[in-house]
Amino acid sequence: MPTPAPELFRFDNTYARALPGCYAPVTPATVPAPQLLQLNQALAGELGLDVARLDPEVGAAVFGGNLVPAGATPIAQAYAGHQFGGFVPQLGDGRAVLLGEVIDRHGRRRDIALKGSGRTPFSRGGDGKAAVGPVLREYVIGEAMHALGIPTTRALAAVRSGETVWRDRPLPGALLTRVAGSHVRVGTFQFFAVRGQHDTVRALADYVIARHDPDLAADPDRYLGLLSRVAARQAALIAQWMLVGFIHGVMNTDNMTISGETIDYGPCAFMEAYDPATVFSSIDAHGRYAYGNQPAIARWNLARFAETLLPLIDPDSSAQAIARATAVIEAFPDHYATSWLDGARAKLGLHGADADDETLAADWLALLAAQQVDFTLAWRRLGDAAAGDAQPLTGLFADAAALTPWLDRWRRRAERDGRSGDERRDAMQRLNPLYIARNHRVEEALDAASTHGDLTAFERLVEVVSQPFDERRGWERYAEPAPREVTARYQTFCGT
Ligand code: AMP
Ligand code: MG
């Protein structure tokens, strides 16, 4: 007798209903021995999943793809995308299925999707599978970003499948359950635009407006408005990445969301010593997606998004449409710079705005770059300096004397607001994390989980990065930079 579909979520699947032709119905593949590795209790609670009443076997079966929960409409979404600048007209969910959408406790609509759930009509040559290491990487980095206050998709569950997946070597297979504000990407629009399906582009645009920017729905200029909103969200998002030293690694247009959430943690990493040219991804030979290029790439991706909307922005005059869309794209660098500077001011403990703040921030970064100072610790220890203890900061610099004139300038500027040093430090330390998902700690945790099936280090790391701002006794090793040699040869892989 077939197992009845468990009622885990109250699904309401608007994408499947509203956009026929934008996806292929699929059934997740069955896996031999699903075993729940990790369940995100806090996120489960947000989604109305009653963890206490969830039978772990049912959980493993659902998040392993063996049991489709009641109310789900499993689909693979179509999308295209520019990968490293080259256009690929058909990508799509090649190893993912969207189970459906739920309204969370805060009234937000969220997608629930499986990643690594087997082949779909979009799989091309791939096996549709994922491995334990990359699944847990996406899990922990997503949680780290969330705890840093950065919009992101999140992991609800990680399941070991009990099968072997073949990459350059055999690896234990796994699935990730991913929760997103939506999975619509720039590449989703490109898929239909390149096929000349402008009615579908319009339907898709109306769909995302209703979902993400409902206040624009009645606006006659709503498609230009949508472009502006997406640009604004991306400007704010990339500024946040830059301010924590996050390098996405593969900012293809299919990995840029309309919602403004960070998506697809493949070859991503946090920077250690500050260097804008930092790139970790093994597939990014030319540094297209290097840390310092991210704002420019976001703009480039937004231009690709704008192109898909041109026939909607002005159906009668393509010249007019181009002029209006171009104005939005050209405003992006300013929006980004404003977001970045606002964030940098707060991280520097500065109140108000001063004409010299931009130079002050730039000079700080120049000092970090010149002496290859650990990005995370530098900001954090500047907070200690605000409270009168500059030693932890100067100890990070090989030539501390070079920092002194800048510190004097910064103090004079910071102290104008009349706050006490302790107040300033406390405010700064709520913004400057002590614990990030450092590359050597991530590798250590993934290796133990993948090779030895030991999740202790992984669970610890998730705990640490979930409270990035609060200094804890016993967590010292998580604050320490990787040894230089490790960072120098550190490479991340797409991990598909
Ligand atoms: P990603 O690198 O995850 O952004 O994926 C880029 C494209 O490759 C998407 O269309 C994925 O669905 C597809 N893809 C990645 N890995 C696999 C795989 N193992 N099997 C099938 N498709 C895949
Ligand atoms: Mg992707």
Locate 253 and state its tokens: 């247009």
Q: Say if CB 82 and CB 188 are below 8 A apart.
A: no
Q: Which atom of ligand 1 is nearest to the CA of 93?
A: 12
Q: Whose CA is nearest to atom 14 of ligand 1?
A: 94
Distances (CA, A) of 85 to 180, 186, 225, 237, 289: 25, 14, 26, 21, 11
HSE value, Cβ hemisphere, 13 Å, CA-based, for 91: 20
Whole-number Å distance between alpha carbons of 215 and 228: 13
Q: Say if CB 334 and CB 234 are below 8 A apart.
A: no
Known catalytic membership, residue 254: yes
Residues 6+ apart with CB under 8 A from 24: 75, 76, 78, 92, 120, 121, 122
Q: Which atom of ligand 1 is nearest to the CA of 92?
A: 10
Classify residue 144 as left (phi > 0), alpha (psi -120 to 50) or beta.
alpha
Residue 267 CB–ligand 1 contact under 6 Å: no
Q: How far apart are the first and last CA of the chain?
A: 35
Q: Whose CA is nearest to atom 12 of ligand 1?
A: 94
Locate 243 and state its tokens: 């301010």
Give mean pLDDT in consecutive 10-residue pieces for the chain, a chain of 496 residues. Answer: 82 98 98 98 96 95 98 98 97 98 98 98 97 98 98 98 97 98 98 98 98 98 98 98 98 98 96 95 92 98 98 97 98 98 98 97 98 97 98 97 98 94 98 97 96 97 98 97 79 67
Instruction: Tell me how far the alpha carbon of residue 96 lies from the centroid of ligand 2, in angstroms.
Output: 10
Instruction: Tell me how far the alpha carbon of residue 254 lies from the centroid of ligand 2, in angstroms.
Output: 6
Residue-wise pLDDT for 88-99, tens only, equals: 999 999 999 999
Per DSSP, the residues of 152-198 read B-EEEEEEEEEEEEESSSEEEEEEEEEEES---BHHHHHHHHTTT-H
Locate 74 and state its tokens: 């499993």
Catalytic residue among 111, 213, 254, 314: 254
HSE value, Cβ hemisphere, 13 Å, CA-based, for 66: 19
Whole-number Å distance between alpha carbons of 280 and 245: 12
Locate 401 and state its tokens: 């004397």
Taking Cα atoms as reference points, which of 310, 160, 158 lies closest to residue 227? 310
Question: pLDDT at position 5, please?
Answer: 84
State the CB neighbour count (10 A cutoff) for residue 283. 16
Residue-wise pLDDT for 210-224, tens only, equals: 999 999 999 999 999
Residue 128 CB–ligand 1 contact under 6 Å: yes
Residue 90 CB–ligand 1 contact under 6 Å: no
Question: pLDDT at position 422, please?
Answer: 97
Per DSSP, the residues of 306-332 read HHHHHHHH-SS-HHHHHHHHHHHHHHH
Instruction: Tell me how far the alpha carbon of residue 410 lies from the centroid of ligand 2, in angstroms.
Output: 41
State the CB neighbour count (10 A cutoff) for residue 258. 27
